[in-house]
Amino acid sequence: MIPNLVNTITGLVLVYATVLKPTWVEQRYLPLAAFAGIILVMALWARRSDPAKWFSSTNIVLAIALGVMSLLPLATLPNLTFWGGFWVGALVPTIALWAALYRPPPAPAR
């Protein structure tokens, strides 16, 4: 549950940075790679306790996509930087918070 909450906050900070600090996010490598690293590590940690593995699998794929995007010359691709960072930053906290709050009902006793 803790890694999912950390991913929720990380994703919200990514959206904040993408929308309100676009020149900082457009720097090559560091900002998006740092977000990708945090999301990836927390998703791998959350994988152990998630009720369904697709929660963390989706966040792992999004972190890898963000990491690949950080390798591009982002200053020359402002639309990719904005929309890529925005959607990853919107999807990761949604899925992570869902995983943190969702607990399936226990199986009925026979």
- What integer pLDDT is reported at residue 29 of this predicted model? 82
- What integer pLDDT is reported at residue 10 of this predicted model? 95
State the Cα–Cα distance between residues 53 and 47, nearest whole angstrom: 6
Q: Which residue ranges in the chain fall short of pLDDT 50?
A: none
**Residue at 107 is within a domain:** no
Number of domains composing the chain: 1
Radius of gyration from C-alpha coordinates of the chain:
15
Q: For residue range 21-38, what is the model confidence (pLDDT) as tens digits?
A: 988 888 878 899 999 999
**Residue at 109 is within a domain:** no
The distance from CA 4 to its chain's CA centroid, rounded to whole angstroms, is 10
Q: Tell me 21's DSSP state.
A: -
- What integer pLDDT is reported at residue 57 of this predicted model? 94
- What integer pLDDT is reported at residue 73 of this predicted model? 87
- What integer pLDDT is reported at residue 85 of this predicted model? 92
State the Cα–Cα distance between residues 108 and 90, nearest whole angstrom: 36
**Residue at 110 is within a domain:** no
